[in-house]
Amino acid sequence: GAVVSQHPSRVICKSGTSVKIECRSLDFQATTMFWYRQFPKQSLMLMATSNEGSKATYEQGVEKDKFLINHASLTLSTLTVTSAHPEDSSFYICSARAPSGGVNEQFFGPGTRLTVL
Amino acid sequence: AQSVTQLDSQVPVFEEAPVELRCNYSSSVSVYLFWYVQYPNQGLQLLLKYLSGSTLVKGINGFEAEFNKSQTSFHLRKPSVHISDTAEYFCALTGGFKTIFGAGTRLFVKA
pLDDT digits (tens, 9 = 90+) for B62-101: 999 999 999 999 999 999 999 999 999 999 998 777 788 9
CB contact under 8 A, A102 and B36: no
In this structure, how many other beta carbons lie within 10 angstroms of the beta carbon of residue B104? 23
Residue B85 sits at φ, ψ, to 5 deg, of: -80, -5
In this structure, how many other beta carbons lie within 10 angstroms of the beta carbon of residue B41? 11
In this structure, how many other beta carbons lie within 10 angstroms of the beta carbon of residue A117? 10
**Residues 32 to 71 of B: which have CB under 8 A from any A CB?**
32, 36, 41-46, 49, 51
Q: What is the mean pLDDT of residues A14-23?
A: 97
- Spatial separation of the C-alpha atoms in residues A93 and A46, rounded to whole Å: 9
Task: Give just the sign of the alpha carbon dihedral B86, A91, B34, A3.
Answer: negative
Quick check: A103 and B32 in contact, CB under 8 A? yes
Q: What is the mean pLDDT of residues A57-73?
A: 93
Which residue among B36, B41, B106 sits closest to A113, beta carbon to beta carbon?
B41
Residue A94 has pLDDT above 80, yes or no: yes
Torsion of CA A66, B101, A9, A6, to 10 degrees: -80
Residue B42 has pLDDT above 90, yes or no: no
pLDDT score for A103: 65
- A110 or B40: which leads in pLDDT: A110
Residue A104 has pLDDT above 80, yes or no: no
Q: What is the pLDDT confidence band of residue A26, given thresholds at 50, 70 and 90?
A: very high
Quick check: B1 and B98 in contact, CB under 8 A? no
CB contact under 8 A, A111 and B90: no
Q: What is the mean pLDDT of residues A26-41?
A: 89
Residue B21 has pLDDT above 70, yes or no: yes
pLDDT score for A1: 67
Residue A29 has pLDDT above 90, yes or no: no
Residue B102: its chain A contacts at CB < 8 A?
A: 43
- A105 or B4: which leads in pLDDT: B4
Which residue in A30, A31, A105, A41 sits closest to B92, CA to CA?
A105
Quick check: A67 and A81 in contact, CB under 8 A? yes
User: What's chain B's average pLDDT?
Assistant: 93
pLDDT score for A24: 95
Residue B46: its chain A contacts at CB < 8 A?
A: 105, 107
Residue B102 has pLDDT above 80, yes or no: yes
pLDDT score for A52: 84
pLDDT score for A61: 93
Question: pLDDT > 90: what percent of chain B?
Answer: 77
The Cα diameter of chain A in Å comes to 45
Q: What is the pLDDT confidence band of residue B41, given thresholds at 50, 70 and 90?
A: confident
